[in-house]
Amino acid sequence: MIKKILMILVLSSVIFAADATVEIVKKLNSLPKIAVQDASDNNVDITLRKKFFKIIVGDLRVSAHFRPLDEYLKSSYEGDVKDNFLSKKGVDLILRFKLSLEKQNLMATVKLINASSGVVDSETNYKLENKRRFPFLAHRIVVSVNDAIGAPSIKWMEQFVIFAKYTGKKESEIVVSDYTLSFQKTLVKGGLNIFPIWANDAQTAFYYSSYNGYLPTLFKVDLTNGTRDKIISSKGMLVCSDVSKDGTKLLLTMAPNDQTDIYQYDLRYKQLKRITKYPGIDVNGNFIDNDKKIIFISDRLGYPNIFSKGIDGNSGIEQMVYRGKNNNSVSTMGNYIVYSSRDKSSEFGSKVFNLYLISTNTDYIRQLTANGRNIYPRFAKGKDTIMFIKQYKNQSSLGIIRLNANKSFLFPLKVGKIQSIDW
């Protein structure tokens, strides 16, 4: 039976992945029901154990490949008949974890048990050198369990998120976190430090704009050795909105002549090339088409909208979106474009900024959010997951949209207001 469920799950994901702009609602009952059991040593703090449990259950739910039980269950690591079958709960799978501490290391042993047969299908040991990072251990376990059943990858859960949050007037901090905000570490504080963006796929360095010197300045921080290098300064404003695939070129919004335009900066030769030359607003450049073109936001029609342009300067400007009168931020992944659009002309409307997904290959437009201010969308490394900022009723949250499952999840920030994100 579970074989069939998994086969349907895998096949349906492949089919649905053909066009993410088509809204898909999967039947919940086709997903395997999974229970999570805590078999940790008693000397491990119960608060940590429960947090660990909660993140694992949350990850299983966000994966959209499982139906997790929310009930916190304890068991011995070997288990007995009652522990290994859970027949009363109608469970298909059991994920049992055992945490233990060894000096500063957090160790975890994890079993995946077939609840119908009681057979252990896989068992893995993990070692985490810094126990503060336990949310990443939980994510790793769920990614492995997901892989073990052959479901589409959710490896994006292990990506580091970097974001800036406003903490006061002209005050912000840059923070690295996991996607649930369960782990947070402040990287830059003091003054106005904004628009952090990862410098490479390995997430070993990042760029950010500092508004604390005479001119807005872009810095690069290398996390492997802690060095900080100045990249470039500009009058007026300076934002790094995208990094090329090979990490050698940046798309910058800057205003060296008091005029905001998009520039490409080649890090190898320290060469700056102006890409847009419109006397209004051009911002938020994103590389597309193997870094030969950009998509960007411009008010050249009298309102913010989305356009594309070749970097070589020979090709014309193409309008990419024909819906909405205030499309103010955009992100791309392959042929897909996700953008934030203001839905009502009144600033008091119940519908405000919503996210939309379009494909350059089809005419479909898919609305991804329904209320609040949903801005700054960013694709994960795969096309199936989008992160965004949601402002709703004075609460600032990170949002996750699982496109193929048609589900979204919010992770509220306790203090501050999220300014920008990257992952």
Sorted by sequence, the CB contacts under 8 Å of residue 147 that are 6+ apart come out as 153
Closest distance of CB 49 from other proteins, Å: 19
404 lines the binding site for other proteins (CB under 8 A): no
Using rule CB under 8 A, residue 243 touches other proteins: no
Nearest approach in angstroms of CB 128 to other proteins is 5
Binding mask 47-86 for other proteins (x = CB under 8 A): ----------------------------------------
CA atoms of 91 and 151, how far apart (whole Å): 18
Binding to other proteins (CB under 8 A): which residues in 281-340?
A: 281-284, 297, 303-304, 326, 328-329, 340
Q: Count Cα neighbours of 287 within 13 Å in the Cβ-side half-sphere.
A: 17
Q: How far apart are CA 404 and CA 34, in angstroms?
A: 20
Quick one: how far is CA 170 from the chain centroid?
26
Burial of 195 (0-12, 13-18, 19+ CB in 10 A): buried
- Of 374-403, binders to other proteins (CB under 8 A) are 375-376, 391, 394
User: Largest Cα–Cα distance of the chain, in whole Å?
Assistant: 74
Q: Residue 315 or residue 350: which is nearer to other proteins going by CB?
A: 350
Q: How far is the CB of 118 from other proteins (least distance, A)?
A: 10
Smallest distance from other proteins to CB 288, Å: 17
DSSP state of 279: S
Beta pairing class for 193-198 and 171-177: unpaired
On the CB side of 267, how many CA atoms lie within 13 Å of its CA? 18
Taking the least distance from each CB to other proteins, the nearer of 93 and 142 is 93
Minimum CB–partner distance for residue 172 and other proteins (Å): 7
Element at 335 (helix H, strand E): none
d(CA 34, CA 93): 5
Kindly tell me which residue out of 280, 310, 382, 416 binds other proteins, with binding defined by CB under 8 A: 280
Q: Strand, helix or coil at 69?
A: coil
Tokens representing residue 3 in the block = 């074989």
Per CB under 8 A, contacts with other proteins among 7-46 are none
Contact between 161 and other proteins per CB under 8 A: no
DSSP state letter for 131: G
Locus of tokens 């990443």 = 136
Q: How far is the CB of 340 from other proteins (least distance, A)?
A: 6
| CB distance 180 to 55 below 8 Å | yes
Residue 36 or 283 with smaller CB distance to other proteins: 283
The least distance separating other proteins from the CB of residue 23, rounded to whole angstroms, comes to 24
The structure tokens listed for 196 are 């952090």
Pick from 148, 267, 317, 321 the residue near other proteins by CB under 8 A.
148
Q: Which is nearer to other proteins, 3 or 88 (CB)?
A: 3
Q: Which is nearer to other proteins, 347 or 363 (CB)?
A: 347
Element (H, E) at 390: strand 385-392
Residues 195-214 that bind other proteins (CB under 8 A): 195, 202-204, 210-214
> Which of 27/169 has CB closer to other proteins?
169
Side-by-side strand order, sheet with 317-319:
282-288, 293-298, 305-310, 317-319
Q: How far is the CB of 18 from other proteins (least distance, A)?
A: 26
Q: Which of residues 352-371 bind other proteins (CB under 8 A)?
A: 352-353
Tokens 């005479």 appear where? Answer: 214
Q: Which two tokens stand for residue 258?
A: 């008091």
| Site size toward other proteins, by CB under 8 A | 101
Choice between 130 and 361, CB closer to other proteins: 130
Give residues 163-182 in contact with other proteins (rule: CB under 8 A): 166, 169-172, 176
Q: Tell whether residue 253 is a contact of other proteins (CB under 8 A).
A: yes
Judged by DSSP in three states, 75 sits in coil
Q: How far is the CB of 186 from other proteins (least distance, A)?
A: 6
189 binds other proteins (CB under 8 A): yes
Give the burial class of 90: count Cβ atoms within 10 A of its Cβ; 0-12 exposed, 13-18 middle, 19 or more buried: exposed
Report the residue from 10, 19, 54, 147 that binds other proteins according to the rule CB under 8 A.
147
User: Which residues ranging from 105 to 134 are in contact with other proteins (CB under 8 A)?
Assistant: 112, 114, 116-117, 119-130, 132-133
Q: Given the complex with other proteins, which of 124 and 371 has the nearer CB atom? A: 124
Q: Is the dihedral of CA 325, 330, 333, 338 positive or negative?
A: negative
Six-digit token string for 5: 């469920």
Smallest distance, Å, CB 25 to other proteins?
26
